């Protein structure tokens, strides 16, 4: 279930989640039938193994750096960088340092 704390409020995204030692933390900010917005915090070395998703997704790096492998190609994202992951693309995530990033998934 999405959090209601942001409704009608402004906030710094990096202040809404805490990087935990040796962990992956996620926080759903918006959840609708048409898509989700999820904030992630990865400690250095934390990974999501290769997988696919049935919908397009936008990854926005907010803090630190993260390696997004997309169909076998590595893309290093630092704060302010984005990448669009097309539906069905094989992708993986590897935190090169403690990082926070935002995933916006659009369902069709």
Residue identified by tokens 């659009």 is 106
Confidence label for 18 from pLDDT (cuts 50, 70 and 90): very high
> In the chain, where are the structural domains located?
13-106
Classify residue 8 as exposed, middle or buried by CB count within 10 Å of its CB (0-12, 13-18, 19+).
exposed
d(CA 48, CA 25): 12
108's tokens? 């069709």
Give the domain 13-106 fold: Jelly Rolls (2.60.120)
Closest CA to 24 of 105, 95, 75: 95
pLDDT in tens, 27-43: 999 999 999 999 999 99
Task: Output the pLDDT for position 1.
Answer: 47
Dump pLDDT digits (tens) for 40-80: 999 999 999 999 999 999 999 999 999 999 999 999 999 99
Strands of 24-32's sheet in order across? 24-32, 35-42, 99-106, 56-63, 82-85
Both tokens of 107, joined, read: 């369902």
């Amino acid at each position: 279930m999405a959090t209601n704390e942001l409704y009608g409020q402004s906030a710094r995204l990096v202040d809404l989640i805490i990087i935990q030692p040796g962990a992956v933390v996620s926080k759903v900010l918006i959840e609708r039938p048409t898509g989700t917005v999820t904030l992630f915090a990865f400690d250095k070395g934390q990974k999501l193994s290769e997988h696919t998703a049935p919908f397009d997704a936008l990854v926005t790096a907010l803090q630190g750096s993260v390696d997004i492998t997309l169909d076998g190609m590595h893309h290093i994202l630092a704060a302010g960088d984005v990448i669009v992951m097309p539906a069905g693309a094989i992708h993986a995530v590897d935190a090169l340092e403690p990082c926070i990033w935002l995933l916006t998934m659009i369902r069709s």
